[in-house]
Homo-oligomer: A and B are copies of this chain.
Amino acid sequence: MSEKRPVVLKIGGSVITDKDGELAAKTEIINRLAEEIAKAKLSSLILVHGGGSFGHPTAKKWGIKEGFKEAGQMLGFAETHHVMTVLNGLVMDALVWHEIPAVSVAPSCGFLTDNGRIKSSDCTLVERMMKMGFTPVLYGDVTIDDKLGFTVLSGDQLVSYLALKFNASRVVLGIDCDGLYDADPKADKNAKMFQHLTLNELKALEGRLAKPTNADVTDGIRGKVRELLPTAEKGIPVSIVNGAKVGRVYKALVGERVEGTLIERA
């Protein structure tokens, strides 16, 4: 374990890409988020980002999440990983430009899954890098899977796994709306945002949450909530804020009061 408990920050794919486009990165937002991360000057940080219009359409087209069925998908696996590294490259570019000693860590080379769930990982080098003061940057990726041959590993599952593994002090999720709602705020005008949720309230919400209208390969918000449960259970607070709005990720990173949903064990 690192001496300092890291903050784990997830930036949603829908924040840094245009989900209606294809391979459409929002480089201005990526740049602004890098600025906020640099300004926060955290002593220990792990960054994870999603796939948005890079990973998702490619993975879906080739049925990567459902696993290996025919040789033609091999190229789809390669292509999905490749487009994710392209998006990651844009993120890394902005981070290094802002003088953050960030090092990309491809999950496909370090995480083995079993039926879509992380089975084992070799985080020795990630840990060494963190102890030296580097910021590891991971992302939703394809993985080799014991049951399925291969599959998709979501950034959300990685966040939860890393937060537990490295005993994070806090998790911050930068998503494309203001926080967690009781319904999809983009489809339902009456959707109400939660300012605060306890673990028990989160559990109740998980059952109720309707699937979002635009389901992506990681099952949208419902999947996110499900992934958050073990983190909240461990007592690691989770802030969910709008990554598309200026300053919110920064405030959440440094622990300032910020518009969004805060999840705490009790």
Contacts and interface: CB of A to CB of B under 8 A. Distances in A.
Contacts of A68: 132
A149 interface: yes
B101 A82 contact: no
A122 interface: yes
Contact of A101 (B77, B101, B109): B77
B109 A82 contact: no
Contacts of A126: 109
Contacts of A112: 124-125, 128
A96 B68 CA distance: 18
A77 B103 contact: yes
Contacts of A95: 78
A94 to B, nearest CB: 11
Contacts of A25: none
Interface string A99-134: 111111110111010000000001011101100111
Interface in A79-102: 79, 81-82, 85-86, 88-89, 92-93, 95-96, 99-102
B104 A85 contact: yes
Contacts of A92: 82, 85
A99 B73 CA distance: 11
A144 interface: yes
A79 B89 CA distance: 12
A71 interface: yes
A36 B105 CA distance: 30
Contact of A125 (B85, B86, B93, B108): B108
A119 B106 CA distance: 21
Given A89-B89, A92-B85, A132 B74 contact: yes
Interface string A50-93: 00000000000000000010010011011101100110110011
9 contacts: A71-B133, A74-B101, A74-B134, A75-B99, A78-B95, A82-B89, A85-B89, A106-B106, A110-B110
